[in-house]
Amino acid sequence: MKILAIETSCDDTGIAILEVSEKTEEFSVLSNIVSSQIEVHKKYGGVYPAMAKREHQRNLVPVLIRALKQAKLLNPKSEIRNPKQIPKSKIQKLNSILERESELAKKLVPFLQKHKKPKIDLIAVTNGPGLEPCLWVGVNFAKALSYFWNIPIVPTNHIESHILVNFLPTRPGLVGFPAVCLVVSGGHTQLILMEKIGNYKILGETRDDAAGECFDKCAKILGLGYPGGPIISQLATKFLGCPTPQKLPRPMINTKNYDFSFSGLKTAVLYANRKVENKTKRYKQEIASEIQQAIIDVLIKKTMKAAKDFKAKTIILGGGVTANKELRKQLTEKIEREIPNARYLIPNTQLSTDNALMVAVAGYFKAEQNKFMRWQDIEANANLRVE
């Protein structure tokens, strides 16, 4: 079975093709293309939904072509069909599905007229949570493909995809449940109890900013650029583990629940930064190290609390912030020291940040559970929650 997956929930346009062996259920990645919009959003220090939507509309067809070519699924020239063979009503229907995505339609309709259906068995698309206009571009694109090629479709939850990407190299049968999952990204910070694939309960989440958002906003305050996570973690390397003169708060670190709050940390950075006149390189390195450690301390404390309270057999990490080397290292050490019998799964760093391969993996498990939907019924939902 070959799965074509689409991810457009924020500022990355991703398309991946995953093959799943019918016999062994083994996964092989045929392609995984991510077109990042960092260059577009960098000058504003954050993502503007309208601009991100426009970029997705521009990028989706070129990214699809690259993904199909890499997977050797784009039909050779000899197979190019005569556009006149396609009934007018079918093109009309296609245009009506893409009514709100006119820039995308201009590229997708000619592409579909020109190329024969590739050997794809399932389409998976992120329908939430995320930025609503961005989600809709991906969803309408997926609906158009599902309709035109007559391929079944499953909608997938972005948070669940960040969790399930860990099952690309590791069979779920080898993992003990319950698992406690920490999903930390630019838009979300959640601790989730997972009883099995497809069964989740949100234990706690951020009451204001997400951890990745905190990295991004602190970087903006310090004039460091976007996205803040990788820049701050790079700067922080110089003073890792050293006490720094800038002491920042660890909001909610000792509360009895599993919730987070990061906006106070950002405000503390704002005030601390105002007091410093000469913002030397050393100052920036020191404060970067303290920001990173403050975020890591809270994430680790709450994750370990949840893992112990719920007697987790496995701890699963996902989301862009888990690309952070120190978080990976410190959490790993803590788990090995304090709950040595627990397993932990962390995606490799390229799969921590947004990509469509995670959507393909989630799509596979959804299909296994028969969670197909008629393309007509699929809607984007910016506030979709795992359940």
Report d(CA 121, CA 164) in Å as an integer.
Answer: 20
d(CA 184, CA 191): 9
Cβ 164 vs Cβ 301: under 8 Å: no
**How many residues lie near Zn ion (CB under 5 A)?**
2
Provide the minimum distance between the beta carbon of 17 and Zn ion in the complex, in angstroms, as a whole number.
20
CA distance 65 to 35: 12
153-157 and 122-128 beta bridge pairing: parallel
DSSP 222: T
List binders of ligand KG4 among 330-369 (CB under 6 A).
353-354
Number of residue whose CB is nearest Zn ion: 185
Nearer to ligand KG4, 128 or 227 (CB): 227
Interaction residues for ligand KG4, span 263-302 (CB under 6 A): none
In the list Zn ion, ligand KG4, none, the entry touching 324 (Cβ below 5 to 8 angstroms by class) is: ligand KG4
In the complex, the smallest distance separating the C-beta of residue 219 from ligand KG4, rounded to whole angstroms, is 8
Query: Closest distance between Zn ion and the C-beta of residue 321, in Å?
Result: 10
Q: Contact region for Zn ion (CB under 5 A) — 40-48, 281-289, 329-337, 353-361? A: 353-361
Q: How many CB atoms lie within 10 A of CB 279?
A: 12
Binding mask 228-267 for Zn ion (x = CB under 5 A): ----------------------------------------
Binding mask 224-263 for ligand KG4 (x = CB under 6 A): ---xxxx--x------------------------------
Query: 270 forms bridges with which residues in the sheet?
Result: none
Residue 35: strand pairing partners: 13
Q: Does 186 bind ligand KG4 (CB under 6 A)?
A: yes
Kindly state the helix (H) or strand (E) to which residue 343 belongs, with its residue range: strand 343-345
Q: Is 289 in the site for Zn ion (CB under 5 A)?
A: no
SS3 298: helix
Min dist CB 284 to Zn ion, Å, is: 27
Binder of residue 215, out of ligand KG4, Zn ion, none (CB less than 5 to 8 A by kind): ligand KG4
- Provide the β-strand partners of residue 32: 16
Is 128 near ligand KG4 (CB under 6 A)? no
**73 versus 214: smaller Cβ distance to ligand KG4:** 214
Neighbours of 225 (CB within 10 A): 16
Tokens of 322: 């888990």
Cα 361 versus chain centre, distance: 13
* Residue 229 interacts with, from Zn ion, ligand KG4, none (CB under 5-8 Å by kind): ligand KG4
Contact 144, 97 (CB under 8 A): yes
The entry of ligand KG4, Zn ion, none near residue 146 (CB within 5 to 8 angstroms by kind) is none
What span, in angstroms and rounded, lies between the C-alpha atoms of 233 and 295? 11
Is 185 an interacting residue with respect to Zn ion (CB under 5 A)? yes
Minimum distance of ligand KG4 from residue 10's CB (angstroms): 5
DSSP type of residue 24: T
Site string for ligand KG4, 313-332 (x = CB under 6 A): ------xxx-xx--------
| Nearest residue to 354 via CA among 2, 56, 3, 13 | 13
Nearer to ligand KG4, 38 or 242 (CB): 38
Q: Helix, strand, coil shares of the chain as percentages rounded to 5? A: 50, 20, 35
What is the closest distance, in whole angstroms, from the C-beta atom of residue 241 to ligand KG4 in the complex? 17
Nearest 5°: the CA angle 193, 195, 198 is 100
Binding site for ligand KG4 (CB under 6 A): 10, 185-187, 212-213, 215-216, 227-230, 233, 319-321, 323-324, 353-354
Binding site for Zn ion (CB under 5 A): 185, 354
